[in-house]
Amino acid sequence: MKESVLPKIVFIDQDECLVSGGWLYLLNEFLGTHYVMSDFSSYFIEEEAIQDPMLRKEFYQYLLNKNIYRYVEYLPGALAAMEKLCRSSLYRPYILTSYSIPQVYESCGILAAQKHDFFVRTMPFLPRGRLLLTSGDKMIFRGDIRIDDLVKNLENADQKILMTSFHNEKVPIQTLEEQGIIRVKDWYEVEKVLKLK
């Protein structure tokens, strides 16, 4: 009798992993600038772009009054890869995403609703119950595979996949090797790593 194989649990981050651009769009709209992602090296781009703490606080209020997920775009190949993951009998994918902004933690609950609505609207093939929203710490979840753009969020997984993004390009190869992290540049590489068909 053949033993059945349980599907692998895959946790996938949203921002800068599946989608990008909304934060930058709203930052440029607020400042009247034309920044591009390569102008920045840290995750919180507004901290590099806005030196004045009061103006930065105004930006956060501006951001919270908009729907950031009306301005994002899926990274190339992300939707097709996610659909393959959802249809595969080998994997059980979950979106695992934080809705918190540490600088305005008390006010950022609205982002949870925006993230939920975004996935309902744009990813109808994602099974209900597969969107996990957290207020920050993702480490409570243990999975077989994690796909994220932050090295610290790749803990608690057997296979760790780092999605290359503007803020993690300088993570040393030695760090990746020591932590058993596979770096990918896009979702086409994710498909190859996971052998999706």
Buried b (16+ CB within 10 A) or exposed e, 111-131: bbebbbebbeeebeebeeeeb
| 73 close to 16: Cβ distance less than 8 angstroms | no
How much is the average pLDDT of 71-79? Answer: 97
23-50 per-position pLDDT tens digit: 999 999 999 999 999 999 988 999 999 9
**Of 116, 117, 119, 149, residue with least CA distance to 13:** 149
pTM of the full structure:
0.94
CATH, domain range 8-18+75-194? 3.40.50.1000
Q: What is the pLDDT of residue 197?
A: 80
How much is the average pLDDT of 85-109? Answer: 94
139-194 per-position pLDDT tens digit: 899 999 999 999 999 999 999 999 999 999 999 999 999 999 999 999 999 999 99
**Of 124, 131, 128, residue with least CA distance to 94:** 131
| 170 close to 182: Cβ distance less than 8 angstroms | no
Q: What is the pLDDT of residue 3?
A: 65
Chain Cα centroid distance, residue 43: 12
What are the distances in angstroms from CA 52 to CA 47, 56, 58, 61, 111? 9, 6, 10, 15, 24
